[in-house]
Structure 1
Amino acid sequence: YRYNVWVSGALCTAYGLVFCAGLIGNLLVAVVVLRGSRTMRRCVTNLFLVNLAFADLLVVLACLPFTLVAHLIYPWVMGSIICKLVPYLQGVSVSASVYTLVAVAVERYWSISSPWKKRLSSKCCRVIIGLIWIGSAIITLPWLVVFRQDYVSETLVCTEIWPDPLMGDTYYAVAHLTLCYVLPLVIIAACYALICRQIWCRQIPGSGEQGPPNHHHRAKIRALRMLGVVVAAFALSWFPLYATFTRLKFAKSMSEPEAEFWEMIMPVAQWLSSANSCVNPLLYHFLDPRFRSGFKQLL
């Protein structure tokens, strides 16, 4: 075992809570939308949120248990297939999650900035969701190839083995960080900044775009507030893990105390990133009355 009984127990408890909350919460989100009214089922934003819930379920079911075992038991004991699949599926789910949030931000901007134009149909939304998953599978495909079992200091580990270390440790690491974290969040931030500008201009007295603050407008603002919090939660949850990976990838040399520090940080950072999978249902419950009502009806 890698840690003493107290640390192992704390990790099991923390990961177990995220597993249970993420499984139950995301299933409830999917059921609330899919069993809701026809309007709720055909709402493009809700379809994207269901896709986000499925991506979170993939993390909870396919990644979380194996990640916990990998942190607790050393050396690697789960075989070559799990060694390849778990990093790959986690990468796919993260990419699908962040690009779903991008799609929501772009759709919200389109809806608010050009309300007279044709809205995105539910059929088109499903096509976009399919493309998100295909693109995510392609972006993360190298991990399916390079992750494998290998012996390091006579100890079996699951690690990346690139034909050219520079290609893996520099080029792909930078590309993955950019495509799956930095660039999507920049696009999302830009969309929400433009949306806020549109709403602000409409509320300024004397503005040509001023309109009455009707119920539909207030509902849009409430939805934007909820989605903004969801995006912020995603960015904050995944930042420690990306920061840890970046430090480990680009560290030319590392002292023993620093290596021990990052070894302790890694399970915490991975837990925090996985915890994002159970945060979204809680945010929907507290910030969206429709989801809150749907949860109460199911429970």
Structure 2
Amino acid sequence: MATTTVKIEIVDDEKDLECIDIKAFLWNEHSDYTSLPSTMSVFAVIYTLIVTLGVLGNTLVILSVIKHRSLQSVRNIFIVSLSCSDIVVCIVSGTITPITAFTKVWVFGAALCKLVPLIQGASLCFSTLTLTAISIDRFILIIYPTQRSIQKRHASQMIALNCTIATSISLPMFFKQNLTPYDRFCGEFCAEDWGTDQSSRSVYGTIVFILQFVVPFFIITFCYLMISLRLGRGMLIKRSSGEQKLNGPQSEQRRQALKRRLRTNRMLMAMVCVFLICWTPAVAFNFLRDYQWLPEMIAKQEYLSGVVTHCISMSSTIWNPILYALLNEQFRLAFAELLASCRRAYTDAQGETLPSRLSARCSRIVSNAFLDLAIVSGNTRGTNGVNNSSSGEGVPSRNGSIKWRYSTVSASSKLEVGGTNKACSSSLL
């Protein structure tokens, strides 16, 4: 008599060829919503938008700094390294992680099983270390203005050191990730294998949490708190000195410089806040999973919870370029010029056809939007630019659930009047 049940029998320690589809199993046993096609479609659109906007936005930041020498300050060197890290996160975490989450099996081979977690963890750690380096640079520049500030050569050395530290912290993931089949289930799974001592995984997760987040954000908080107090005290002194003393050109220049530093400080603090808000859910999810402290409702939908927190963390790659455009006029002008250059290049390539005219019109609209931002900010002549100093201003685990260890997770002096502003102004009018 025929039967529709799939039966698994083990004979002489060898399995039959038949196996269970893990997606069907999770849906039948746990009502896992990530197994539904509708859920996959929604998140496919979300991830596509995140990856596209993240890569384009951070590429715009990198090209702007490379093209304009006046943007090549110490702080912007750190920002470029942060943008490079965000692009890596978009390409690696924005593609491999969701595919693994929805297929429930590892389809990328044994080599990537070890490399991907290492890259993801190192990228996240590198981002937090870079934000820490930026805060230290600002702290030295403002709290100790008479001391020699960080130079570009030192910034490059700090970036290399951050890469080394981030890779070292994430290196255990390279050795503990293994591609292995699970009994009864079809396919292979890339999972952490800590042997019989599972407490080691929790200990490592705690150490990573402290080194990646707790220590850096204590340093960052201290630096920006001291900077805010110093700048706030400076503003009070300026106001109490009387309006007559502020009428001279030298006093006016000092006041404008202080305002620029305040604006830059706000932008950098906004970067840290956005990074913290975006990555806290994912880090908390991973930390609670290590100790099996997840609330029951979240534990029942571990795959869905992991995908949602991962999307939130991935969105951090989009916000940094937006913050630069909103809070720094020099990046706004550089972005507008690059967009205008793309429009001109497209027009030259296509000729005066209808598509090229439409492209030119759309590009002018975008460029004018950046100019409107500059007007709203209160100054379109570059006086609110930043001081031009030399320093510048998952995969399934053994219990069948996903292990979420992934990365992530950032302006400058006045552009040259002779070239950039002229070209940018002509393209915007």
TM-score (norm 2): 0.65
CA distance change for structure 1 residues 197 and 8 in 2, over 3 Å: closer, same or farther? same
Q: Secondary structure at the residue paired with 2:93?
A: helix
* Post-superposition offset of 1:209: 11
Q: Secondary structure at the residue paired with 1:75?
A: coil
Q: Structure 2 matches for 1:179-194, cutoff 5 A?
A: 179-194=211-226
Q: Secondary structure at the residue paired with 1:219?
A: helix
Equivalent residue number for residue 267 of structure 1? 307
The CA deviation string for residues 46-72 of structure 1, in whole angstroms up to 9 with x for no partner, is 111001001101101122110111111
* Post-superposition offset of 1:157: 2.0
2:167 equivalent to 1:137: yes
The answer on whether the counterparts of 1:233 and 1:276 sit within 8 Å (CA) in structure 2 is yes
Q: Secondary structure at the residue paired with 1:76?
A: coil
CA–CA separation in structure 2 for the residues paired with 1:161 and 1:239? 25
Equivalent residue number for residue 165 of structure 1? 198
The CA deviation string for residues 213-262 of structure 1, in whole angstroms up to 9 with x for no partner, is 5222211111110010000010011100011111111017986x542233
* Post-superposition offset of 1:116: 1.4
- In structure 1, list runs of 5 or more residues that go unmatched: none
Q: Structure 2 matches for 1:250-265, cutoff 5 A?
A: 250-251=291-292, 258-265=298-305
CA–CA separation in structure 2 for the residues paired with 1:44 and 1:14? 34
Q: Secondary structure at the residue paired with 2:178?
A: strand
Task: State the structure with more CA Rg.
Answer: 2
The answer on whether the counterparts of 1:201 and 1:209 sit within 8 Å (CA) in structure 2 is no
| Correspondent of 2:262 among 218, 221, 229 | 221
The answer on whether the counterparts of 2:275 and 2:316 sit within 8 Å (CA) in structure 1 is yes
CA–CA separation in structure 2 for the residues paired with 1:209 and 1:245? 53
Equivalent residue number for residue 231 of structure 1? 272
**Aligned AA for 2:176?**
V
CA distance change for structure 1 residues 295 and 265 in 2, over 3 Å: closer, same or farther? same
The answer on whether the counterparts of 2:267 and 2:323 sit within 8 Å (CA) in structure 1 is yes
2:140 equivalent to 1:100: no
2:3 equivalent to 1:3: no
**Aligned AA for 1:244?**
F
2:331 equivalent to 1:291: yes
Q: Secondary structure at the residue paired with 1:82?
A: helix
Q: Secondary structure at the residue paired with 1:64?
A: coil
CA distance change for structure 1 residues 209 and 89 in 2, over 3 Å: closer, same or farther? farther
The answer on whether the counterparts of 1:201 and 1:207 sit within 8 Å (CA) in structure 2 is no
Equivalent residue number for residue 64 of structure 1? 94
**Aligned residues: CA RMSD:** 2.1
CA–CA separation in structure 1 for the residues paired with 2:287 and 2:293? 12
The answer on whether the counterparts of 1:101 and 1:231 sit within 8 Å (CA) in structure 2 is yes
CA–CA separation in structure 1 for the residues paired with 2:75 and 2:298? 44
Equivalent residue number for residue 18 of structure 1? 50
2:153 equivalent to 1:112: no
* Post-superposition offset of 1:208: 11
Equivalent residue number for residue 342 of structure 2? none
Equivalent residue number for residue 368 of structure 2? none
Q: Structure 2 matches for 1:42-53, cutoff 5 A?
A: 43-53=73-83
2:111 equivalent to 1:78: no
**Aligned AA for 1:106?**
I
The answer on whether the counterparts of 1:88 and 1:144 sit within 8 Å (CA) in structure 2 is yes
The CA deviation string for residues 150-193 of structure 1, in whole angstroms up to 9 with x for no partner, is 23443332211114321112x11100001011211111011100
The percent of aligned pairs where both chains have the same amino acid is 25
Aligned residues: 295
* Post-superposition offset of 1:206: 8.5
TM-score (norm 1): 0.93
The answer on whether the counterparts of 1:80 and 1:148 sit within 8 Å (CA) in structure 2 is yes
The answer on whether the counterparts of 2:231 and 2:258 sit within 8 Å (CA) in structure 1 is no
CA–CA separation in structure 1 for the residues paired with 2:293 and 2:119? 29
Equivalent residue number for residue 124 of structure 1? 154
* Post-superposition offset of 1:93: 0.6
CA distance change for structure 1 residues 70 and 277 in 2, over 3 Å: closer, same or farther? same
CA distance change for structure 1 residues 98 and 197 in 2, over 3 Å: closer, same or farther? same
CA–CA separation in structure 1 for the residues paired with 2:284 and 2:293? 16
CA–CA separation in structure 2 for the residues paired with 1:238 and 1:246? 12
The CA deviation string for residues 188-211 of structure 1, in whole angstroms up to 9 with x for no partner, is 011100101111222224999999
Which has more helix, going by share of residues?
1
Equivalent residue number for residue 154 of structure 1? 184
CA–CA separation in structure 2 for the residues paired with 1:123 and 1:97? 20
* Post-superposition offset of 1:85: 1.6
CA–CA separation in structure 2 for the residues paired with 1:136 and 1:253? 27
Q: Secondary structure at the residue paired with 2:105?
A: coil
CA–CA separation in structure 2 for the residues paired with 1:11 and 1:131? 36
